[in-house]
Each structure stands twice: as C-alpha cells, then as structure tokens.
Structure 1
Amino acid sequence: MGNIIYHYCNVESFKAIIENKTLWLSSVYNLNDYKEIHWIKDKIFKKIKTSSTKDNFLKYKCFEELYSKQLPNVYIASFSEGSDLLSQWRAYANDGYGVAIGFNSDYFKENNMVQTSSVLYDEESQEKQIDLILKPLEQLDNEIDTQSIQFNEICKAIITDINNLSAKSKNELFKEEQEVRLIHNPKITDDKKNKRFIFEDNLSQMMFRSVCGNLIPYFELKFDEEKQTPAILEIIKGPKNKFIEEEVKIFLSNNGFYCVDIKSSKSSYR
C-alpha cells in the first residue's frame, strides 16, 4: 500500500469533508453492494458444513447459531490506491465532476481506534484466513459445555475476526477498484438492566443520517493539520471537474490545508 489513498466523492461531499475536517465511517450493512457482507459469511457456513461430523456437530451448531445472531459492529470508510480510475469517477465522483481526496495513510496509523487495510480479493488467501480464524474452534474439545463462559468468549473472539475479514474482503471481480478501507470496531453492549446501550472504544457518538427511507448509523473520524503528519497530501480533479485551481487552493488554505497539491485527471472521459 502506498502512502496516499484516495477518497472519490462529489463536490458537495468534498466541501463538507474539508470544512468539517471529518470522515464518516458507516456500518458494513449499508455498503452500496449489500452482497459484500455475505461474501465471507457464505464461505464460513460452507466451511462449517464440511467440518461438521457426528462427534463435533453440537460445537459447530452452537457456534453457527451465535454467529448468525450477532450483527457485526464494523464501520468503514472506503478509499482506493488508484488516483485516476475511470470506474471510481463514474461510481463515486458524480460521473467525473467530483474529486479524489488524497489522504496520507500514515496519518491514520496514529489513531489506535482505526485500522487501515487493503481489500483482499484473492479467494485462496481468503480461504487461508478463514482456516486460521476457525482453528481455535476446531481445537476446542468436542465435549465442551457450549453454555459456558469459556465457549462464548472464544466464539465472540472468532466472530470478531470473521467480521473484520468480511469488512476487508470482496469478490475478485472488483479487483480493479484497488480498494483500501479504514475499519472501526466499537464495542456496543446492550445494558438491559439500565435500559441503554454502552459504547466503548468508539471514535464518536453513534450518529444517524436518513437515506431513502432508512436510518444509516455512522461514526465520525476527525482529522486536522495540527499534527506533524499531514492528513491530506493532494487533490485530484475529476475529468469533468470545473474547479479553478487558484480558487481551490484558497478554499483549502482557508480551512487549514495550505500545502496540498492540486492535480487534474489524465482521463479523456467526457
């Protein structure tokens, strides 16, 4: 992964991101392609089916039930390693009228509540990761008490690892996107006794926005230029973008981003 990762967006989003110095990390359940979250899930169920025997059936069955019930507490923001990809201009930057914001990937490494990960497209690598994640379950005694705290804690840890793998895995048909994701795993506990939800290790309060009749949860990741490591390194103007370079530089400078390079797409797309 290079030092710069690109967030493709329309002009309105670009303006809001720069002025508010904020990125939104949304639930994996609200990705553009809903099938993404089932890509690894389907592989997990297939692996469990092939691993189950009459001796370990109960162990795997109980794990499967826990896995099916637990929604993944995984929130992501999407980027690309590609600075000038036609597919990204079309899909995420208002058909080329928008921009690609070049973020410094090293900046995010300073925040221990997010991890930066290149999306894994290779199915063989995904299968190997699944085998490693499920190994603790495989090694558990088949006679273990599936109602015990030990069993539940081990399963929770495995499910967390599965959800993180799901958040960074896609079908290899999407490989051209060269996607990189910021991943956030807040701890959300349903405190039934006090009738509330408890949040730990979260970037912000859980926020909500309404989109097409649905409520979309997200967390805010604040960034600034006060740190030694700059957050934004360059802006790539889309192939149809109408920005006047000097005006964009002033806009960025007014919001604390003076030393940012402005470049233009080399695409002839019109």
Structure 2
Amino acid sequence: MGNIIYHYCNVESFKAIIEDKILWLSSVYNLNDYKEIHWIKDKLAKKLQNSITKNNFSIYKAFEELYFKQLPNVYIGSFSKGSDLLSQWRAYANDGFGVAIGFNEDYFKNNKLIHPSEVLYDEIEQEKTIDLILQPLDDLDAKVDINSQHFKETCSNIIIEINNLSARSKNELFKEEQEVRLIHNPIIIDDKENEKYIFKDNISDMKFRSVCGNLIPYFELDINENTKNMNSIVEIIKGPKNKFIDEEVKIFLSQNGFYNVDIKNSKSSYR
C-alpha cells in the first residue's frame, strides 16, 4: 500500500462521500483563500518583467497576452499527509466533530487523468521551477513567428505547466497543513460554430453547485472500490470531539462497500 493521505470533513460530507462513492474536484478559482491562485501568477509576472530584453520583447509580450487572458482549467481535491492536525480539525472537520478519511494515495495513481501532488511551500524551489518551465520560451529563436503553430503550442505547454504549479504551490506559512492535492486538467473547448463547449480528458461531466451566492464548477471522481483492484479508503480518524461508535461506523462503511477500514481516534486533547 502507498502513502495514506487524509481528507478532513464534517459528518455530513463523510456520509455523502461514502454513500455516493464520489469526491468533488473543484476549480482552483474557488479555493478558501482566493490569494492562492495569484501566488505563482504574481511571481511569474515579476519574472517576465525582469527578464524582458530587446531581443525577446516580442516573444515575452506575446506569451503574456496568451497567459493572462486564459483561465486555467485546473480542478483540485485537497488532502493532508497529517492524520491528526489540530488546524485541520478546526478548519475543515466542524471544529473536531468530523473525521479524517484516510485514502491510499496509490489508488489515485491508477487514474491517468488525476495527478496526486504534494504542495510546494519553498519559495526558492517555486522560483527554480518557474525558471525551468519558462526555459522552452527562452530557447526560441528571437525571430520566431509569434503567430506560428509552433509558437502557440510552446506557449500552451508552458501555460499548462504554470497552471499546475499554481495549483500545487502555497505560501510557506501554510506548511503545517502538509497538503497533498489531486489535480485534474480537463480540456475545455469553446465550439462557437456549434454553440457549445466540448470536454476532453475529463473524469465526469462538469457539475455545478451553489455556495453563498456563487456557482462553483466541479468534476466527480469515482472512488467505488468495486471497480478497482485495491482499496481506496484504508482508515478513518475520528476527530477529537467526534461521537461515532466504532462498530456502527464499521457497519455503515461495510454496507456501502468499504469493509476493511480501520477506525482510529484522534490523540488530540482539544475540546
């Protein structure tokens, strides 16, 4: 079995995940902290501005125009490597009344449309990664045709990598969360001729939910054990205020196809 990653949630969400056998991967534009989506974007903008010269001006400006007008098609699910973190109980598990669902990380690696990735908190490493991602842009001939297919494909590949870096990068002040994210990159094409959107490499139809006056898009990730060769859920950690009776939880899990799941208690004395 691979590493265990934990999804902290309240009891209502836990019940829905187990009964529906589905996780929601939501747009990066609907994260709890809206500043997250600008963390790498701001670093990239600064790096581009500092790197522009007479020779690469047209290349960088053309890339900037493509990058900043495109919304990233990145959808994520959030987990933690920590099984018993007080900050997570408080923020995501109803102040400790909820649970942390322990998933086998290898289970997700079987799905080629999903990419488990540890969140990168080190700013130096983030800067180095941006440099590596931008290298193909620097390697282009100064006289390259910015309207050519080659240039547009190069920029498209760079934008995908930058968007993925944005989805897995945070301020180091959040390092205690030990976050791991499932990243999904569907291709969404605006087919103006037929007046519809075309989806490719998507794990489900795009769904929408309304939250606090906002409309949030998401995709559904199937975690049904009956369709896989390994267990998706391996353990449940009860929050420090959780009221579950172990035997009853085991029956609930088994009735929904999750039989071999360990039930554990939080070691926190938080009340």
Asked if Structure 1 and Structure 2 have the same fold, meaning a TM-score greater than 0.5 normalized by the shorter chain, the answer is yes
Matched, 1:242 2:243: yes
TM-score by length of 1: 0.98
Deviation at 1:211, TM superposition (A): 0.6
More moved, 86-95 vs 45-54 = 45-54
Matched, 1:253 2:254: yes
Quote the Cα distance in structure 1 between the aligned partners of 2:147 and 2:30: 32
Determine the structure 1 residue equivalent to 2:133.
133
Quote the Cα distance in structure 2 between the aligned partners of 1:239 and 1:28: 30
Q: Deviations over 1:25-71 (max 9, x none)?
A: 00000000010011100111111011101221111011011100010
Quote the Cα distance in structure 2 between the aligned partners of 1:197 and 1:224: 28
Deviation at 1:228, TM superposition (A): 2.2
Q: Which runs of 4+ in 1 moved over 4 A?
A: none
Quote the Cα distance in structure 2 between the aligned partners of 1:113 and 1:260: 26
Give % identity.
Answer: 75
Whichever residue aligns with residue 102 of structure 1, its letter is G
Quote the Cα distance in structure 2 between the aligned partners of 1:141 and 1:215: 43
Quote the Cα distance in structure 2 between the aligned partners of 1:143 and 1:41: 27
Whichever residue aligns with residue 133 of structure 1, its letter is I
Determine the structure 1 residue equivalent to 2:234.
233
Name the SS for the 1:33 alignment partner: coil
When the two chains are superposed, the root-mean-square deviation of aligned CA atoms in Å is 0.7
Quote the Cα distance in structure 1 between the aligned partners of 2:143 and 2:43: 25
Determine the structure 2 residue equivalent to 1:41.
41
Q: Deviations over 1:128-171 (max 9, x none)?
A: 11011000001111221112211111101100000000000101
TM-score by length of 2: 0.98
Deviation at 1:111, TM superposition (A): 0.5
Map of 1:62-73 to 2, 5 A cutoff?
A: 62-73=62-73
Determine the structure 1 residue equivalent to 2:168.
168
Determine the structure 2 residue equivalent to 1:96.
96
Quote the Cα distance in structure 1 between the aligned partners of 2:142 and 2:213: 46
Name the SS for the 1:39 alignment partner: helix
Whichever residue aligns with residue 75 of structure 2, its letter is Y
Whichever residue aligns with residue 201 of structure 2, its letter is D
Name the SS for the 1:101 alignment partner: strand
Name the SS for the 2:225 alignment partner: coil
Contiguous gaps of at least 5 residues in structure 1: none
Quote the Cα distance in structure 2 between the aligned partners of 1:56 and 1:82: 45
Determine the structure 2 residue equivalent to 1:267.
268
Whichever residue aligns with residue 118 of structure 2, its letter is S
Name the SS for the 1:202 alignment partner: coil
Aligned positions, number: 269
Quote the Cα distance in structure 1 between the aligned partners of 2:257 and 2:41: 43
Contiguous gaps of at least 5 residues in structure 2: none
Whichever residue aligns with residue 46 of structure 1, its letter is K
Deviation at 1:253, TM superposition (A): 0.7
Quote the Cα distance in structure 2 between the aligned partners of 1:241 and 1:83: 15
Determine the structure 1 residue equivalent to 2:149.
149
Determine the structure 2 residue equivalent to 1:16.
16
